[in-house]
């Protein structure tokens, strides 16, 4: 009698347990798939932003070396570090930097950056790139000034 009751209980419970396990596995698969999607998107965002930062830094340093240095030494007014760059010259340099950044990123890079950051148009992307260029210029200026004011101390091993 007890064996018969246990047998019937197993026959009744087995489909329920199988259904619960199936639902659990389906939920786990869906959750894992969503997690992987977020992970891939975050990794893509990180790589795109790193590439953009590298390009912007390269362009800013390039223009600093080629254009800004030439402009500052031309018609030196005697101020430390050469003459000040005019607003018009600064605007031209900024437009040149933006053009170079867009060229170096390429059409596919710009599309990917627009997609990943969720921009809806060229103006939003350009505004973002200009702000990153200006931030890099600011950082570069401050690092250069700091490096000139505070010499780096090298540790020697004897």
Tens digit of pLDDT for each residue in 75-93?
A: 665 555 567 778 888 899 9
- pLDDT score for 151: 46
- pLDDT score for 149: 42
Decide: helix, strand or coil at residue 77: coil
- pLDDT score for 102: 95
The CA distances from residue 109 to 48, 57, 63, 80, 105, in Å, are: 8, 16, 21, 40, 5
Looking at the chain, the whole-number percentage of residues with pLDDT higher than 90 is: 26
Residue spans of the chain under pLDDT 50? 145-152, 158
Joined tokens for residue 57 = 């830094």
Looking at the chain, the whole-number percentage of residues with pLDDT higher than 70 is: 85
- pLDDT score for 150: 47
- pLDDT score for 22: 87
Burial class (CB in 10 A: 0-12, 13-18, 19+), 96: middle
Q: Is the pTM value of this prediction over 0.75?
A: no
């Amino acid at each position: 009698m007890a064996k018969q009751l246990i047998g019937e209980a197993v026959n009744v419970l087995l489909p329920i347990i199988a259904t619960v396990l199936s639902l659990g596995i389906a939920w786990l698969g869906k959750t894992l798939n969503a997690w992987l999607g977020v992970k891939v998107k975050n990794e893509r965002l990180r790589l795109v932003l790193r590439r953009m930062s590298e390009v912007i830094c390269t362009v800013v340093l390039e223009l600093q070396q080629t254009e800004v240095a030439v402009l500052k030494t031309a018609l030196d007014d005697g101020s430390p570090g050469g003459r000040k760059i005019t607003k018009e010259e600064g605007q031209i340099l900024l437009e040149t930097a933006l053009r170079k950044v867009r060229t170096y990123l390429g059409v596919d890079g710009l599309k990917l950056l627009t997609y990943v950051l969720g921009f809806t148009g060229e103006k939003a992307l350009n505004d973002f790139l200009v702000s990153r260029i200006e931030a890099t210029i600011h950082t570069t200026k401050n690092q250069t000034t700091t490096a000139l004011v505070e010499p780096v101390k090298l540790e020697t091993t004897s």
